């Protein structure tokens, strides 16, 4: 599926309720970043995620901190690795595709990520190594 097709399908809500998982979110963010300038991509991505969650009655699952943090990690990795195909991006960035015990644990305490504040607004990392 091309980036354009993935975005179109997601924005038109053609994915089954239980078939869109963490790696799919990463793939979708990659698609938006491949098609649009970074801030436009972020706006479209966030709007699409919120609509997706609302359509399933699961608005509480949206977390702005997790969304923004992954989005900008993906953007940075795209620039760093200069890959132009999703399969190659996924191959060189497997840490971004792992949800449980994922990369954000390097940057955030668990309580911070799951706080009401982090759900509502982007919270800067609070774990420094």
Going by C-alpha positions, the residue among 77, 87, 11, 86 that lies closest to residue 43 is 11
Sign of CA dihedral 27, 30, 32, 34: negative
Tens of pLDDT, residue by residue over 77-104, are 999 999 889 999 999 999 999 988 899 9
Tens of pLDDT, residue by residue over 31-72, are 999 999 999 999 999 999 999 999 989 899 899 999 999 999
> Where do the structural domains in the chain lie, given as residue ranges?
3-15+24-120
Alpha-carbon separation of residue 113 from 35, 56, 57, 106 (angstroms): 28, 22, 21, 12
């Amino acid at each position: 599926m091309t980036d354009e097709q993935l975005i179109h399908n997601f924005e038109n809500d053609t994915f089954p309720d239980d078939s869109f998982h963490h790696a799919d979110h990463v793939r979708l963010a990659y698609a938006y970043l491949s098609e649009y300038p970074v801030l436009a991509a972020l706006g479209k991505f966030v709007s699409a995620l919120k609509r997706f969650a609302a359509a399933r009655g699961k608005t509480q699952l949206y977390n702005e901190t997790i969304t923004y943090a992954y989005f900008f990690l993906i953007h940075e990795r795209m620039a760093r690795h200069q890959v132009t195909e999703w399969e190659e991006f996924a191959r060189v960035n497997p840490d971004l595709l792992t949800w449980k015990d994922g990369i954000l644990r390097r940057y955030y305490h668990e309580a911070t990520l799951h706080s009401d504040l982090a759900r509502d607004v982007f919270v800067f990392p609070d774990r420094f190594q």
